Structure 1
Amino acid sequence: MTAQAGICAEPNLHAHYLMFEIRPHRFEAVRAALAEIPALWQGLRQDYPDAAFSGVVAVGNEAWDELYPGARPAELMPFPAQQQGQRIAPETPFDLFFQLRADRLDVAYIAVQRVMALLAGKVELQEERQGFRYLDGRDMTGFVDGTENPQGDDRAEVALVGEGRFADGSYLHVQRYRHKMTRWQKLAVKAQEDIYGRTKSDNIEYESARKAPTAHTRRTSLKDAAGNGMEILRQSMPWGTAAAQGLVFVSCCHTPLHFTRMLENMYQPDDAGHFDHLTLFTQAETGAAFFAPSEEWLAMQGDL
C-alpha cells in the first residue's frame, strides 16, 4: 500500500485545512471523487516541484460507514471529548478533513481550488483555516512545537497502520485551539517554561526531577503497560488573525489510543489533582476523529 504523503511529511511553510460535511444522497459521488485524489496529489507535485506539496484527505468517524460500507478501520471511534469545569476539549464531528501543505502559499491555495472544484455540489464547507510556519517552527506561545515528534523511519512506524486492508492508513485527530494570548503574555518567561517543562529560547527540556507534575511535557509523555512510549506524529501548525491566534493540532497514529490517553492526561486530574496547566491558557474549539486511508483504498473506492 501507499500512504498519503502528507501523513509523514516533513514540516512545511504553509498549510490550508478544510473540513466538509457531505450533502445528503451524495456519498456515492464523493466516493468516486475521492478516487481521483491520489492523481490530484501527484499532479500538484509534478506541476510545482519546488513547493514540496503534500496532501491528506481523511474520513470522519460518523461518515465512514456510509461512504465505505464494505469495511471499517477497527479502532475508528468518536473523538474523545473532555470537560473539567471551564477546561473543555469538545467533539465537533466533520465528514471530511483535508490537509494541504506546501512551501509556497500560492501552491497551497491552488490545491484548495482543485479540491473545491473536485467536490463542487457534493459537500458543504464547514471550517477553513490557514496555517503557517512561525519563526523556527514555534507555536504562537513562543515555544518550539513538535519537539518530541518521531524522526526518519520512525515517523511511519508511529503514524501508519502496519498491516491488513487498512495498511498505510492513519488515525487522525484534529483540533483547532484558540490561545488566551493576553493571559499568557502576562506570565514571566520562567513561569511559561515551567508550564511547558522546557526552556523557551533554546528549547531544552527540563530534567524529569525539575518538571512539575502539571508540566505539559510530563502530562503528554506516556508509556503503555509494557513500558513503551505512546507516541504520536504531530502535523500541527499555528494560525492567526489580527484578533486571535492559535494552533491547528493534527495527530497521526497507527492507533487512536495514544492520542486519547494524552488528551485525558491533559484534562483529567490525577489522584493528586494535577492536570496539564497549559489547558488554562488555550481553548480547544473543535475536535474530530478521522481515518486517512491509503492511496490504493481511495483509488479503488474501498474495493480492496
Structure 2
Amino acid sequence: MSQAQKGICAEPNLHALYLTFTVVDDDVHAMRAKLASVLDLFSHFDEEYYEAMVSGVIAIGTDYWYELYPRLIPLELAPFPNMQSEDRGAPVTPGDLFIQIKADRADICHAIGIEVIQLLRPHVDLFEEIRGFRYLDGRDLTGFVDGTENPKGMHKFDVAIVGDNDPDFAGGSYIHVQRYRHNMTKWQLLKTHNQEEVMGRTKADNVEFASDKKAAFAHTKRTNLKDENGNSVEILRQSMPYGDMAVEGLYFISCASSPKPFTDMLRNMIFADSAGNYDKLLDYTIAETGGAYFAPSVKFLKQQAIE
C-alpha cells in the first residue's frame, strides 16, 4: 500500500494547529507543486525537532478536488453531508484545503503554520485558524475522556486508510472536520450523574456503561453503530479541545477508509428514532463548521506535483 500521510494515524500530541483555506486562483499546477512542498516542510521539522513528534495532514476539499486533480477521483468522494433536524444540525462551511499540524511543542506548530501560509500565498485565503491542545489526561472540556472508542494498534490503519479496493488512492483517507462549540454554562449546571447519563460512561474513571444500562439518548449509544453484517462502524478520531476563557469546544476530525461511517454516525446523532431519541450531547454543543476532504497518499501528492 502507498504510504499514508503521517498525521492520519499519528498518536495524540500536546498541541495542534488546524488551518482551513479557500483557493482564490486557478493555477492548479502551482498548487500541486506547493502541496508537495508542504510535505517537505513537515519532514524538515520532524527531522529538525524530532523530540516534538511532528506530524501533518494535507487534505483537499471535495469540491476543489475536481479542479485540482480532475483526471483522478477517489471512488467514494462526496460532499459534506449537510443535515438538519429541529435545532440540531451539521452545517457546511467553506474549505478547499485543510491542513492539520500536530506536535508536542506549541512553538513548532506555530513555526510550521507560518511557513505553510507563506508557501501557499497568494493562491489561498485563510478561512479559519484553530489551535488545539491536550487537556489534562486526554479529556474534552466537558471533563470526559475523548477518543476512548478509537481503534488501537495496526487496526487503526484498517479503519482510517483506503486499501487496494481503490488502487489509485490506496494510502489515502476520507477526512471530515467539524468545529463544535460547547455551551459550558449549561453543561456545568448538570450534576455529574446526569452528565454521565448523557455520555453513557463514568466521568472520573472513564468506564463505559453496560449496553442495557445506557439511556437510549446516550452519546456512546448513538455513535456506536453496527452495519448490516453486525460489524462495528468505526472511525479514527484526531480531535482536540480548543478555546479560551470565552469560547470552548472540540475540534472534531474523523479519518476513515470510506465516508460512510462518519455519515452514518452523524445521522444517528442528529435524527431522532421512533421514540424521539437523538444524541443528547447535542443539547450542550453545536457544530459551527463542517467540511469533507480527502487526504491522498504521500506518493500521490508527490507524483501529481511533477505531472
TM-score range, shorter chain: over 0.9
Q: Is the 8 A contact 2:36 2:305 kept in 1?
A: no
1:196 aligned to 2:171?
no
How far apart are the structure 2 equivalents of 1:24 and 1:38? 21
TM-score by length of 1: 0.98
In the other structure, the counterpart of 1:133 is: 134
Moved over 3 A (4+): none
In the other structure, the counterpart of 2:59 is: 58
**Residue type of the partner of 2:100?**
Q
Q: Is the 8 A contact 2:6 2:56 kept in 1?
A: yes
How far apart are the structure 2 equivalents of 1:303 and 1:37? 15
In the other structure, the counterpart of 2:104 is: 103
How far apart are the structure 1 equivalents of 2:256 and 2:33? 26
1:247 aligned to 2:259?
no
**Residue type of the partner of 2:156?**
R
Structure 2 stretches lacking a partner, 5+ long: none
1:299 aligned to 2:302?
yes
In the other structure, the counterpart of 2:28 is: 27
Structure 1 residue 93: Cα displacement: 3.3
Q: Is the 8 A contact 2:268 2:278 kept in 1?
A: yes
In the other structure, the counterpart of 1:288 is: 291
In the other structure, the counterpart of 1:6 is: 7
Structure 1 residue 37: Cα displacement: 2.6
TM-score by length of 2: 0.97
Q: Is the 8 A contact 1:197 1:211 kept in 2?
A: yes
How far apart are the structure 1 equivalents of 2:231 and 2:168? 26
In the other structure, the counterpart of 2:152 is: 151
Structure 1 residue 242: Cα displacement: 1.6
How far apart are the structure 1 equivalents of 2:28 and 2:238? 28
In the other structure, the counterpart of 2:190 is: 187
In the other structure, the counterpart of 1:219 is: 222
Structure 1 residue 89: Cα displacement: 1.2
Q: Is the 8 A contact 2:29 2:305 kept in 1?
A: no
In the other structure, the counterpart of 1:48 is: 49
How far apart are the structure 1 equivalents of 2:269 and 2:37? 39
1:16 aligned to 2:3?
no
The range that moved more, 265-274 or 18-27, is 18-27
RMSD: 1.1
* Distance 1:261-1:302 versus aligned 2 partners, 3 A rule: farther
In the other structure, the counterpart of 2:68 is: 67
How far apart are the structure 2 equivalents of 1:206 and 1:69? 47
Structure 1 residue 232: Cα displacement: 0.2
**Residue type of the partner of 2:102?**
R
In the other structure, the counterpart of 2:180 is: 177
How far apart are the structure 2 equivalents of 1:208 and 1:16? 36
Structure 1 stretches lacking a partner, 5+ long: none
